[in-house]
Structure 1
C-alpha cells in the first residue's frame, strides 16, 4: 500500500492538472465564441459583394462569365485548414485524412496548409506543401491571414501554376465537425443571380475588370469564413477533449481518495495493534 504522503502528493498533482484542464477549456470556449461573433460580419460582407457582383454581371454577356475550357490535366491547389495546436483529440488527423482522400480525375494535387499541427501531420505522411502558415491566434487576426492566402493563390493562378483551387475545413455546425470542401476557382458565377434592375449601375472602370476585382474580394470573404469556421471547430474539439480529460481526472482523483482513506484506516489499525502489543509486553493489561 502506498505511503499516505505519497498519495496526498498525487492528489495535489491531480488537482493542479484539473485546474489546467479547466483553464484550457475556458480559453477554448472563449475563442469559439469569439469566432462565431465574427462570422456574422463576414457573411454580411459576402452578401454585399455578391449583390455588387450581380449588378456588374448584368453589364456583360453570359459568354464572358463562362470559364475557359481547361486542358486534360490540371493542377488543383487545395487549401487545408487544420489545427494550430494539440489537445483537440483526433480533430486534426480527421481533417488531414479527409483532405488526402479527396481525388479528382487527371489532376495534379498541391497543398496550401494552415495550422502548425496540420503542417506537421502532412510532413509525417510524406506530403509536401507549396505554401503554409500557422492558424491565426485570435479571430480578429483571420482577415490578415486570409489576405496572405489570397495573394498566394492568385499569384499561382496568374502564373498558370494551378488551374483549380478549393478549400477544405471542418464545419462546427455539424455534430462531428464534418469536413467541408468548397470550390473557389474557377469561380462559379451560377451561384449569383444576375441583377434584373432596369437601372444600370454606374461604374468607373470596365465591367469585366470590376467583376474580376469582385471575384477576388468574394474569394477573400469565402476564405475568411472557412478560416473562422476552422478556428471555431478546432476550439470546439478542444473543449470536448478537455471535458473528457476532466472526467478522467475526476475518476483518478476519486480512486486516489479511496486509496488514501484505505491507507489511513490501515495506518490507524496498525498503530492500535502496535500500542496494544507494547501494552501487553509491559504487562499493562487487564485479565
Structure 2
C-alpha cells in the first residue's frame, strides 16, 4: 500500500468516527427535547391550577388592590432573554437576540440565561445586568426559574424595574424555531375569569396577601415553562445542526471513498504493468544462463 492510499484510508477512518460522534450528539439532543416537552405538560397543569386559584382570590379582592408592583405602561424594563448554553446549535442564540432587538433599544436591564448568549451580548456590546447558565438537563429548569423569579422581584421591589418581559425560543419539531416575546409584569388579571358560583373559598390569609403569593407562583410557572420550552428549542436546533453536519460528512465520506478506490485501482494497474514488463527480462536471463 502506497503512502497516499494509506493516508486516504486513515482520513476515511477519521471521518467515520466523526460521523459516529455526530449521530450520538443528534440522539442526545432528540432525547432531551422529548423529555422537555413532557415536562412542559406538567408545568402547564400546575399553572392552570394556580390560575384557577387566582380567579377565586380575585373575587375577594377589590379591584384597587389587584395591581402588583411595577404596574403601569411606562418605566424601566427588566428584559429576560433565554439563550443557549452549549454549542453546535447553529445560530440559535443569535436569532433569540435578533428577536429581542426591539426591546433592547429602550431603557432596560438585561437578565440573561445562557453562556452562549453572553458571548453574543459581548459581541454586540450589550450590557448584562444579571446572568446565569442555561440548564443542561430538564431537571434543572425549576432551579433556574427560581433564580429568575427572585431576581426580577428584587428589581421590582428596589424600583430598578417597573416592567418585565421575556424573550425565548419555541420548539417547532421539524419546523424552524420561532422566538416569542411575552409580558410578565404588569400582571394581566383579565386572563383569569371569576368563579361562576357564588360560594366564597375559606381563606387563612388576607385576600390581598393570598393574591400576591398566587401571582408570584404563577410568574414562577411562566418562567419555568419558558425555560423548558427554550431548552427543548435549543436541543431541536442542535438536532437540525447535527442532521446538516451528518449530511456534509456523508458527502465528504463518499468523496474520500471514491478517491480511495481510484488510488487502489491505480495501484493495481501499476502492479500489473510492473509484473508484465518485469517478466520478459527475467525469462530472457534464464535462457542465457542455460
Normalization by structure 1: what TM-score? 0.93
Secondary structure at the aligned position of 1:86 is classed as coil
Per the TM alignment, residue 282 of structure 1 is displaced from its structure 2 partner at its CA by 3.5
Within-5 A mapping of 1:1-287: 3-66=4-67, 70=72, 74-102=75-103, 107-173=106-172, 175-284=175-284
Query: Could you report, residue by residue, the CA deviation over 1:84-115 in whole angstroms, capped at 9, with x for unpaired residues?
Result: 111011111111121123367xx402110111
Secondary structure at the aligned position of 1:3 is classed as helix
**Contact 2:67–2:187, Cα closer than 8 Å, also in 1:** no
CA distance in 1, matches of 2:60, 2:134: 39
Aligned length: 282
CA distance in 1, matches of 2:252, 2:172: 33
Query: Could you report, residue by residue, the CA deviation over 1:160-211 in whole angstroms, capped at 9, with x for unpaired residues?
Result: 0000001100111373211111110111111111223211011111111111
CA distance in 1, matches of 2:21, 2:189: 49
CA distance in 2, matches of 1:76, 1:188: 16
CA distance in 2, matches of 1:98, 1:108: 17
CA distance in 1, matches of 2:184, 2:75: 15
Aligned to 2:288: none
For structure 1, which segment, 231-240 or 191-200, has the greater mean C-alpha deviation from structure 2 after superposition? 191-200
Secondary structure at the aligned position of 1:78 is classed as strand
Query: Could you report, residue by residue, the CA deviation over 1:142-172 in whole angstroms, capped at 9, with x for unpaired residues?
Result: 0011001100110000000000001100111
Normalization by structure 2: what TM-score? 0.92
CA distance in 2, matches of 1:166, 1:78: 5
C-alpha RMSD over aligned residues: 1.9
CA distance in 2, matches of 1:121, 1:2: 45
Per the TM alignment, residue 215 of structure 1 is displaced from its structure 2 partner at its CA by 0.6
- Residue ranges of structure 2 left out of the alignment (5+ in a row): 286-290
- Residue ranges of structure 1 left out of the alignment (5+ in a row): none
